[in-house]
């Protein structure tokens, strides 16, 4: 049992004895995360996050562990949960809870996450990131919750907004991304919260200075909230930094999709037919990875621009109905709902593999499949299920239709997450220090910060950047030190 452990009530993870293994992984990951490590060096003296109480909900992986300890190194206090029931690496969670006893991680951070939660457990873990009573008691302070949120997918930010609305009106907003069962869980949670303190969320929400959001789906949900004039504080959209969506979404999935397929199925991808629904940044990386393995890749799109891109990149672009019988590997990367339905699945080849890499588990209608008369489920190994259909044919569903690159593998690799998470650090500093200037709304970081994140990753790859001469800078009308592109440039 590790020694410098938090009080056992203060965290909820699989097994603290995994901390030593987790610490080794964190140490190796740090060498692959130059952006985060140089932001620590740059800001550790000034402590720009001193006084920040960050409640985070983002996959509790080794990479996220390095992010959390960067926040601590910059002065923040942190409480953490995962944004997905399958995406935690239990050894990373353990290492964070224990801390390393070094100046970077002097003591443990409360984590509420383990791989393989129920939905009830997931929501109760999110709720626990909002309960800062232990910290308040220890510090003799009178706060009850966090003053900053960091979210991936929007559930934590939504919980706070929903909590306020529920306390005031008893209403639960319909969330398309949640199942009926999840609506019921959130309602129960809010009812219990209201019964114990009718003003709990109305106390927590006004203390929140700002937030940051990691992923495409979360940003979309927040924009809707802002459009309905319901957003309560400024949020920084990390996803739309070029050094996030043009890297993590594309090159990250290029690594972790194939990693997940291999670990889950061990089936050869070369020579097979793969189908990628959605040719956004994640779809582009997915298609490239599958083609790189030698698959013949078919793409589906609803957006004519992305469809044309896919065609000019050399992919067949088709509707699922026209090719469903021929496909070996299905990948959904749309952020939309019911992209693959039980009717599609009924026509699939024997042992076709169904993978979702979009944020929510509603892209493939697994619930509908499970409820189809005559369909039976055989668990092959953790997060690999065979569904046997009345036809006698089977399909393999990975991670129950949730993000399989995090469920069946360990998510994106450290180097690319360093770019994403450098944006998270800059976003938290920006929102914490400049919330009043930002104002309530959904904002992106400046281009100069985006370029800074890229710069922080060049040396590690041996990249030697060319500098503008004075003559050239004048000729193109750009400052020598950037920013080099207008907000209209698309990379
Ligand atoms: N993602 N995190 C990891 N290894 O920690 N891998 C992927 C990791 C994030 C990625 O930024 C994406 O936007 C989000 O998971 C979707 O939930």
DSSP symbols for 157-208: HHHHHHHHHHHHH------TTS-HHHHHHHHHHHHHHHHH-TTHHHHHGGG-
- CA dist 185 → 116, 119, 180 (Å): 17, 8, 9
Q: How far is the CA of 366 from the centre of ligand 1 (A)?
A: 22
Task: Report the distance separating Cα 345 and Cα 71, nearest Å.
Answer: 45
Q: Which CATH number does the domain housing residue 289 bear? A: 3.40.50.720
Residue 174 and residue 30 in one domain: yes
Residue 147 and residue 38 in one domain: yes
Phi/psi for 12 (5° steps) reads -145, 105
In a domain, 326, yes or no: yes
Residue 391 and residue 428 in one domain: no
Residue 225 and residue 372 in one domain: no
pLDDT for 442 equals 98
User: Looking at the 3D structure of the chain, how many domains does it have?
Assistant: 2
Residue 170 and residue 111 in one domain: yes
* Three-class SS state of 136: helix
Q: Which of 407, 423, 457 is the last residue of a domain?
A: 407
**Which of 412, 415, 422, 427 best tests ligand 1's pocket when mutated (most atoms within 8 Å of CB)?**
412
Task: Report the distance separating Cα 277 and Cα 358, nearest Å.
Answer: 10
In a domain, 196, yes or no: yes
Which residue reads 């992923």 in tokens? 215
Q: How far is the CA of 85 from the centre of ligand 1 (A)?
A: 13
The model carries a pTM of 0.97
Residue 300 and residue 168 in one domain: no
Which residue reads 């290492």 in tokens? 95
Residue 38 and residue 163 in one domain: yes
Residue 62 and residue 209 in one domain: yes
In a domain, 488, yes or no: no
Encode the chain (491 residues) as per-residue pLDDT tens digits: 565 677 778 999 999 999 999 999 999 999 999 999 999 999 999 999 999 999 999 999 999 999 999 999 999 999 999 999 999 999 999 999 999 887 777 789 999 999 999 999 999 999 999 999 999 999 999 999 999 999 999 999 999 999 999 999 999 988 888 888 999 999 999 999 999 999 999 999 999 999 999 999 999 999 999 999 999 999 999 999 999 999 999 999 999 999 999 999 999 999 999 999 999 999 999 999 999 999 999 999 999 999 999 999 999 999 999 999 999 999 999 999 999 999 999 999 999 999 999 999 999 999 999 999 999 999 999 999 999 999 999 999 999 999 999 999 999 999 999 999 999 999 999 999 999 999 999 999 999 999 999 999 999 999 999 999 999 999 999 999 999 999 899 99
**Which of 58, 254, 360, 427 best tests ligand 1's pocket when mutated (most atoms within 8 Å of CB)?**
58
pLDDT for 384 equals 98
- Sign of the CA dihedral 49, 50, 54, 58? positive
Q: How far is the CA of 313 from the centre of ligand 1 (A)?
A: 25
Helical axes 281-292 vs 253-265, angle rounded to 10°: 60
In a domain, 97, yes or no: yes
In a domain, 310, yes or no: yes
Task: Report the distance separating Cα 145 and Cα 129, nearest Å.
Answer: 8
**Which of 89, 248, 403 best tests ligand 1's pocket when mutated (most atoms within 8 Å of CB)?**
248
DSSP 2-15: -SSPPPGGG-B-S-
Contact between 397 and 366 (Cβ < 8 Å): yes
In a domain, 486, yes or no: no
Q: How far is the CA of 87 from the centre of ligand 1 (A)?
A: 9
Residue 392 and residue 430 in one domain: no
Residue 304 and residue 391 in one domain: yes
In a domain, 453, yes or no: no
Beta strands in 48-151 (DSSP E): 53-57, 77-81, 111-112, 148-151
Q: How far is the CA of 287 from the centre of ligand 1 (A)?
A: 18
Residue 170 and residue 34 in one domain: yes
Q: Which of 407, 427, 456 is the last residue of a domain?
A: 407
Q: Which CATH number does the domain housing residue 105 bear? A: 3.40.50.1480
pLDDT for 8 equals 75
Pairing of strands 376-381, 384-388: antiparallel
In a domain, 490, yes or no: no
CA-152 nearest atom, ligand 1: 17
To 5 degrees, how large is the angle CA 327–CA 332–CA 333? Answer: 140
- CA dist 370 → 113, 375, 400 (Å): 27, 6, 10
Residue 418 and residue 398 in one domain: no
Query: Domain span at residue 402?
Result: 250-407
Q: How far is the CA of 391 from the centre of ligand 1 (A)?
A: 37
The two three-digit tokens of residue 11, written as one number: 């965290």
């Amino acid at each position: 049992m590790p020694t410098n452990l938090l009080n056992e009530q203060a965290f909820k993870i699989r097994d603290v004895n995994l901390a030593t293994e987790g610490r080794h992984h964190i140490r190796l990951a740090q060498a692959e995360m130059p952006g985060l490590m140089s932001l620590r060096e740059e800001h550790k003296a000034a402590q720009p996050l001193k006084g920040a109480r960050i409640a985070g909900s983002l996959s509790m992986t080794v990479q996220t562990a390095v992010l959390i300890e960067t926040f601590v190194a910059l002065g923040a206090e942190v409480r953490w949960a995962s944004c997905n029931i399958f995406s935690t690496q239990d050894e990373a969670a353990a290492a964070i809870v224990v801390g390393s006893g070094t100046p970077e991680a002097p003591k443990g951070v409360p984590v509420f996450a383990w791989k393989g939660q129920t939905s009830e457990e997931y929501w109760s873990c999110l709720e626990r990131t909002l309960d800062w009573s232990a910290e308040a008691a220890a510090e003799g302070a009178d706060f009850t919750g966090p003053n900053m949120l960091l979210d991936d997918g929007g559930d934590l930010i939504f919980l706070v907004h929903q909590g306020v609305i529920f306390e005031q009106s008893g209403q639960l907003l319909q969330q398309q991304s949640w199942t009926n069962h999840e609506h019921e869980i959130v309602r129960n949670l809010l009812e219990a919260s209201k019964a114990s303190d009718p003003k709990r969320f109305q106390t927590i929400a006004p203390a929140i200075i700002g937030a940051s959001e990691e992923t495409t789906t979360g940003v979309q949900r927040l924009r809707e909230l802002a459009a309905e004039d319901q957003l309560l504080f400024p949020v920084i959209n990390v996803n739309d930094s070029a050094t996030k969506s043009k890297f993590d979404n594309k090159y990250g999935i290029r690594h972790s999709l194939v990693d997940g397929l291999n670990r889950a199925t061990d089936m050869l991808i070369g020579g097979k037919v793969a189908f990628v629904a959605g040719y956004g940044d994640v779809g582009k990386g997915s298609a490239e990875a599958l083609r790189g393995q030698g698959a013949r890749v078919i793409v589906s799109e609803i957006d004519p621009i992305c469809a044309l891109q896919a065609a000019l990149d050399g992919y067949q672009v088709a509707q699922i109905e026209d090719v469903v019988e021929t496909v070996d590997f299905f990948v959904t990367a749309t952020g939309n709902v019911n992209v693959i339905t039980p009717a599609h699945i009924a026509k699939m080849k024997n042992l076709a593999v169904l993978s979702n890499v979009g944020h929510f588990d509603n892209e493939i209608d697994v619930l509908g499949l499970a409820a189809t008369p005559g369909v039976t489920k055989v668990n092959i190994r953790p997060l690999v299920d065979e569904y046997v259909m009345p036809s006698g044919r089977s399909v393999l569903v990975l991670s129950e239709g949730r993000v399989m690159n995090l469920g069946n593998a360990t998510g994106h690799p450290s180097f690319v997450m360093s770019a994403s998470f450098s944006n998270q650090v800059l976003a938290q500093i920006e929102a914490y220090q400049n919330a009043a200037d930002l104002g309530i709304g959904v904002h992106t970081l400046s281009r100069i910060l985006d370029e800074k994140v890229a710069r922080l990753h060049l040396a590690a790859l041996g990249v030697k950047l060319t500098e503008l001469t004075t003559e050239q800078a004048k000729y193109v009308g750009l400052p020598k030190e950037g920013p080099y592109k207008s907000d209209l440039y698309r990379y």
